[in-house]
Amino acid sequence: MYKKQVEISLDLAQKCVKCALCKSVCPTYPYIKEEGGFARGRLVLAEMLLKGEISETKEAYKHLDQCAMCRRCEWICPNGVEYKEIIVSARNKQDRSLIKETGLKALDVLQSNVGRKAVKFLGKVMDKLPYKEFRVFFPTGAVKFMPKPDGKAFGLRGKTFKAEQEKGKLLFFTGCMIDAFYSKTGESVVKLMNKAGWTVIVPEDIKCCGAPHYYSGNISAFEKLKEHNLKEMGKYEFDAIVVACPTCGGALQEDYGIDKKVYDFSEIIFESRLNFKGKGEKVTFHVPCHSYSAMKVSEKVFYGVIQRVESDELIKGEKDKSCCGFAGLFSITNPKLSEKIQREKIEDINKTGADVVLTSCPGCVLNLTDGVKTYKTGQKVMHLADYLAEHLEERL
């Protein structure tokens, strides 16, 4: 398996003043309860590994693998410690597990020509089934309700959707989950952006953004995906980029070196004059970790947009910014830890009494849906884009 020593300045790790403020927001620490269970301890461990002060053992890397990479520690850190870069560099030194490598390869296959055709074919076959999700049993012991492949998978690719009164052009980086499982969400983003006055361009051959590879320490694979995507994006003329997945947005914004603004779709709606009419429902919102830790989008944007939906009642959860426990491969490789974090999130949602759970990340949609179905709490889970598109009024 690919392994490469990455040179980073250890000053990044040494900026940590050991205040342990990160302990208060770490989703894994309450269930691990030891120094290696939150950012401070993991930073020390990573620094020692990178310096060669301790041997590279499974036990040493266990603590790094138990990190969900939500980056809430960065969000709250008073000293600006670049936790992501340090942990990625340390993970880059290890041999990745077969489960992780298989998961990352699956994303590569998904975005190949054969993979796209296979997903679309499976989606059309499974569209006839009466349920939206099905249970999947993973060899790690994880059991999850997964969405069916979408019969319209990759249907937006290579198309341009023109706005009637164009303000400018947005390149829509759809992301793997919207491409394969949540095509309706992609359509909702296009509808909302068009209505807000933006023409939307969806590239023909975008692949995975590479964030799962990067966070797993496979920097070589990330660089190849980045090179491909930049080349593909360079074929189009656009003013800015829009995403409906904050993990994709964070990668584009932080690691691609793009000179264009990367917007979460909700930021554009927040700045627009769009109106929405609700159905008298009670709604709550789960703030995805990467929306504020990676993309730096204020929660005021999400809540400001939702509050524009007339007739619906917004109820803010006490732990609305806590991790949902998904974190991509983390939920598969650390199933028991993920389930405990998920349970805490579902319990907080249940306390709100809301009928509908909203979020702006397709991965969170998947995991919250799994949680609602597992614990039989009965809420409807929706991507914010779908909720807003469904309640959009024609008047401006």
**What count of other Cβ atoms lies within 10 Å of the Cβ of residue 231?**
10
**27: in domain:** yes
**134: in domain:** no
**370: in domain:** yes
3-state secondary structure 95-162: CCCHHHHHHHHHHHHHCCHHHHHHHHHHHHHHCCCCCCEEEEECCCCCEEEEECCCCCCCCCCCCEEC
Q: What CATH number does residue 37 fall under?
A: 1.10.1060.10
Residue span of the structural domain in which 381 resides: 276-390
- Max distance between CA atoms of the chain, in angstroms, equals 65
Q: Which of 91, 121, 154 is the last residue of a domain?
A: 91
* All residues at 6 or more sequence positions from 387 whose CB lies less than 8 Å from its CB, including other chains: 283, 309, 356, 358
Task: Give per-residue pLDDT as tens, 192-246.
Answer: 999 999 999 999 999 999 999 999 999 999 999 999 999 999 999 999 999 999 9
Q: Which of 43, 74, 91 is the last residue of a domain?
A: 91
Q: What CATH number does residue 299 fall under?
A: 3.40.50.1860
C-alpha dist (Å) from residue 284 to 125, 301, 307, 331:
34, 14, 11, 23
**336: in domain:** yes
CA dihedral 335, 329, 173, 154 (to 10 degrees): -80
> What confidence score (pLDDT) does residue 3 get?
37
**282: in domain:** yes
CA distance 42 to 169: 42
> What confidence score (pLDDT) does residue 6 get?
41
> What confidence score (pLDDT) does residue 127 get?
87
CA distance 94 to 97: 9
> What confidence score (pLDDT) does residue 332 get?
95
CA distance 171 to 200: 6
Q: Which of 67, 91, 115 is the last residue of a domain?
A: 91
Cβ 195 vs Cβ 162: under 8 Å: no
pTM: 0.94
> What confidence score (pLDDT) does residue 108 get?
94
Task: Give per-residue pLDDT as tens, 330-368.
Answer: 999 999 999 999 999 999 999 999 999 999 999 999 999
**71: in domain:** yes
Q: pLDDT below 70 — which residues of the chain? A: 1-13, 56, 95-96, 394-396
> What confidence score (pLDDT) does residue 121 get?
95
Number of domains in the chain: 2
Cβ 82 vs Cβ 43: under 8 Å: no
**73: in domain:** yes
